[in-house]
Homo-oligomer: A and B are copies of this chain.
Amino acid sequence: MSEVRTKNAQSRGQSDFAQRFALLRQRRGPFCLGLDPSPELLNGWGLADGVEGLRRFCFTVLDAAADQLTAIKPQSAYFERFGSKGIAVLEECLEAIRDRESLALLDVKRGDIGSTNQAYAEAYLDARSPLKADAITVHPYLGFLALAPFVEQASLSQTGLFVVVLSSNPEGRAIQNARVSSDTSVVQSLCDAIRDYNRSVCPQSTGPIGAVVGITAEQAEETVERLAGSLILAPGLGAQGGEFAQLGKRFERAKDRVLPASSRAVLSQGPNLKPLRESIKQHREKSWEALS
């Protein structure tokens, strides 16, 4: 990523996206609400499993969230289920999240060879795109260095990216724990690459490339230690088994850089606004407490 490095080398401070995160975190706390309009949740809310149900679900959640949250994370898969009409709802949601001055963190987990990643970067991080987000999640299987177009585009548009590093699900262990050398695993090597890149462009502060680290993953703590100077998106609070105490302990070394996310545990409180709002408030406060 030498070209990217040169472009960013002028600014030695915090990356633009990290700055936006830090400012919002001060006012609203570190919690990220996952917007996962799954068929199970639509059904649980008594909504039809269609585009209208999808829109109704999302805007109810966004109403309940109001301007209280640092970040809201739509899961693209649940919009893609409805094709172009679902994607049109996703566009509306991304705009509504920005209207609330929350960060729109789109969970798309894209990742391909460089030329294709360039197209994905334009789709999700270019300010002119109808699907523009403040940050997205990306896949490393085709190589950390193949992600350069995302890093470059993020630098141009003051947006961010989170590389999937360590997932909570047990099926992920085989590849993620594989050894790239006798003393380094895939997860560790990705952490090192992210940290080294961030240090090279933001030596004193938080760099532009973030990582996804599941809260309930056993090696979360050592993974976090290896990610100095990097933002961390930590899904799995609540419904996936993560707990606030675990969050505080495992992410102790990254208290001001971690963004814990929860979806089902909050969303299952709907469709009524009052319990939804109450659950959002609780998650926000408990995360803040665990990470203060």
Answer whether residue A75 sits at the interface, using C-beta atoms and an 8 A cutoff.
yes
Q: Does A45 contact B (CB under 8 A)?
A: no
Partner of A140, one of B75, B120, B123, B141: B141
Cβ–Cβ contact B189 & A169, under 8 A: no
Q: Does A142 lie at the interface of the complex (its beta carbon under 8 Å from any beta carbon of B)?
A: yes
A291–B213 CA distance with the chains assembled, in angstroms? 44
Q: A203: CB under 8 A from chain B? A: no
Contact A142 B172 (CB under 8 A): yes
Q: Does A158 contact B (CB under 8 A)?
A: no
Number of interface residues of A (CB under 8 A): 58
Residue A11 lies at the interface, judged by CB distance under 8 Å to chain B: no
Residues of B within 8 A of A164 (CB): 141-142
Cα–Cα, bound, A179→B182 (Å): 9
Q: Are A139 and B111 in contact (CB under 8 A)?
A: yes
Q: A169 and B129 in contact (CB under 8 A), knowing A77-B120, A84-B85, A85-B84?
A: no
Contacts A84-B87, A144-B171, A144-B174 given; 14 further ones with Cβ under 8 A? Answer: A75-B119, A77-B110, A77-B116, A80-B123, A81-B129, A84-B84, A109-B111, A113-B168, A141-B172, A145-B171, A175-B175, A175-B186, A179-B179, A186-B186
In the assembled complex, 11 residue pairs joining A and B whose CB atoms fall closer than 8 Å, in A order, are A39-B119, A80-B123, A83-B131, A84-B130, A87-B87, A142-B172, A143-B175, A144-B171, A175-B175, A178-B179, A186-B186
